[in-house]
Amino acid sequence: MKNRTLIIFFYFFCFAYLVRSKLVTGKISVDFLISKGEGKGSKGISNFSIKNNQINITHNGTEFMGVVYLTHLNFGGYDLYDVVSVSKDGNDFLVVYLYCHTGTSQISMLYYESYDFEQCVTENATGFLDAQHFSKGVTKEIDFSMPVLKTDPTPIQTNILIEGKEISYQNANTFHCKLHGGLYKVSVFSTVDCKDCPNFSSGWYELHSILSNGKDRCFGIFYLNLNDHKSVYLEYLFCNPSLTRPKMSSYVANWSGSLEQISQH
Ligand SMILES: *[C@@H]1O[C@H](CO)[C@@H](O)[C@H](O)[C@H]1NC(C)=O
Ligand SMILES: *[C@@H]1O[C@H](CO)[C@@H](O)[C@H](O)[C@H]1NC(C)=O
Ligand SMILES: *[C@@H]1O[C@H](CO)[C@@H](O)[C@H](O)[C@H]1NC(C)=O
Ligand SMILES: *[C@@H]1O[C@H](CO)[C@@H](O)[C@H](O)[C@H]1NC(C)=O
Ligand SMILES: *[C@@H]1O[C@H](CO)[C@@H](O)[C@H](O)[C@H]1NC(C)=O
Ligand SMILES: *[C@@H]1O[C@H](CO)[C@@H](O)[C@H](O)[C@H]1NC(C)=O
């Protein structure tokens, strides 16, 4: 091989290495195990495969790796499985909810969101998952790996204001909060308006966000209950690269505004 060819190959491999984010490996404690699963969506998600809660997903040509970390059983007639995943280059985060009709192992719908699009997407799906739910109080540690998440999303505008001792949201670029003592910058990348969701007594808003403290980026959902303008709850946390799941946090804070007129990025 000529030297020049070697140099070209060298740069090619360096480039291929650089565009992949480092993988982090850890353990997570879960109260269910999905030994096996696979499927595909009807539009954006071309395929996914699951083994012992570790999941690989391809969305619009981009490969994501992550974990099925939570379930919501019998949620409006469905069993939901929550997935957090990071693209192999570390620059995009994809949250997916796998929907099975309650008590079945057939996946019929996917609901997902990422840094790339502001609104959640729903699509029909086919596939299955073999899930085993442990008895109350029983958990199991599973090993998994995922790429390091390297970037924050561009925060969206929401028209919501929050003010409390440990949380302040006056505009998209200055949202911050305390979480178990540490200070985090918050970027909202997607919202859910459950003002009129069927079969739930009173409505709520959700701010799906990334909390960042310079070392760790944590996905979490802020809940604003429409019948309580004096509290805010932060739930379903999952942090990368620490691969920890901080406990939920509640804030005494006044909040106002509505999600009705969302503007673009
Ligand atoms: C999706 O399908 C392609 C082509 O068959 C395969 O290479 C890839 O590994 C699959 N991805 C997942 C997440 O199963
Ligand atoms: C996901 O992809 C990695 C390599 O990219 C592979 O080692 C692993 O077995 C895959 N896992 C699943 C559940 O397909
Ligand atoms: C899919 O990816 C292509 C480029 O890779 C992009 O131009 C297109 O907008 C993406 N489509 C969706 C629906 O995200
Ligand atoms: C909502 O409740 C109605 C009446 O109880 C029931 O018929 C319907 O199936 C429920 N919808 C869902 C999504 O659970
Ligand atoms: C999903 O499937 C249902 C029926 O199974 C159909 O009515 C609906 O149009 C489908 N939605 C999409 C987005 O394909
Ligand atoms: C919420 O607003 C009320 C009335 O303006 C004020 O008295 C209270 O201190 C505020 N609470 C917080 C946590 O800022």
Using one digit for the tens of pLDDT, what is the confidence trace for 187-199? 999 999 988 876 6
Q: What is the DSSP string of the chain?
A: --HHHHHHHHHHHHHHHHTSPPEEEEEEEESEEEEEEEEEESSSEEEEEEETTEEEEEETTEEEEEEEEEEEEEETTEEEEEEEEEETTSS-EEEEEEEEETT--BEEEEEEEETTEEEEEEEEEEEEEEEEEPPTT--EEEEEEEEPP--PPPPPP--EEEEESSEEESSTTS-EEEETTEEEEEEEEEEEEETT-TT-SS-EEEEEEEEE-SS-EEEEEEEEETT-TTEEEEEEEEEETT---PPPEEEEEEEEE-SSSPPP-
Q: How are beta strands 140-147 and 182-194 bridged, if at all? A: unpaired
The pLDDT of residue 76 is: 82
The token pair at 141 is: 């540690």
Mark whether 71 and 167 lie in a shared domain: no
Where do we find the tokens 């982090």? 24
49 lines ligand 2 (CB under 6 A): yes
Please state, in angstroms and rounded to a whole number, the distance separating the CA atoms of residues 230 and 226: 10
Total number of domains in the chain? 2
pLDDT exceeds cutoff 70 at 263: no
Q: What is the pLDDT of residues 104-132, one digit of tens each?
A: 999 999 999 999 887 789 999 999 999 99
Please state, in angstroms and rounded to a whole number, the distance separating the CA atoms of residues 30 and 54: 12
Mark whether 219 and 141 lie in a shared domain: no
Of residues 21 and 224, more confidence is placed in: 224
CA of 22 to the centre of ligand 1 (A): 21
* 197 in Cβ contact with 205 (< 8 Å): no
119 lines ligand 4 (CB under 6 A): no
Backbone angles phi, psi at 7, to 5 degrees: -65, -40
Backbone angles phi, psi at 175, to 5 degrees: -70, 125
The pLDDT of residue 155 is: 95
Q: Which domain holds residue 230?
A: 160-257
What is the position in ligand 2's atom list of the atom closest to the CA of 52? 13
Note whether residue 10 is domain-resident.
Answer: no
Q: What is the pLDDT of residues 200-213, one digit of tens each?
A: 678 999 999 999 99
What is the position in ligand 1's atom list of the atom closest to the CA of 38? 14
Note whether residue 9 is domain-resident.
Answer: no
Q: Name the closest ligand to CA 118.
A: 3
Report the chain's mean pLDDT, rounded to a whole number. Answer: 91
Nearest-CA residue for ligand 5 atom 1 is 124
Q: What is the pLDDT of residues 134-181, one digit of tens each?
A: 999 999 999 999 999 999 999 999 999 999 999 999 999 999 999 999
pLDDT exceeds cutoff 80 at 56: yes
Mark whether 51 and 141 lie in a shared domain: yes
Note whether residue 220 is domain-resident.
Answer: yes
Mark whether 204 and 130 lie in a shared domain: no
Q: Name the closest ligand to CA 142.
A: 2
Beta-carbon contacts of 135 under 8 Å, excluding residues fewer than 6 positions away, are: none
Note whether residue 77 is domain-resident.
Answer: yes
The token pair at 100 is: 């099975």
Mark whether 26 and 143 lie in a shared domain: yes
Note whether residue 135 is domain-resident.
Answer: yes
Please state, in angstroms and rounded to a whole number, the distance separating the CA atoms of residues 189 and 155: 6
Mark whether 170 and 124 lie in a shared domain: no
Mark whether 217 and 139 lie in a shared domain: no
Mark whether 46 and 133 lie in a shared domain: yes
Nearest-CA residue for ligand 1 atom 3 is 47
* Residue 261's pLDDT band (cuts 50, 70, 90): low
Number of residues that this document lists for the chain? 265
Mark whether 130 and 176 lie in a shared domain: no
Q: What is the pTM of this model?
A: 0.88
pLDDT exceeds cutoff 80 at 14: no
Nearest-CA residue for ligand 2 atom 14 is 49
pLDDT exceeds cutoff 80 at 75: yes
The pLDDT of residue 265 is: 39
Mark whether 38 and 124 lie in a shared domain: yes
Mark whether 141 and 189 lie in a shared domain: no
Q: What angle (nearest 5°) sits at the alpha carbon of residue 57, between those of residues 53 and 58?
A: 170
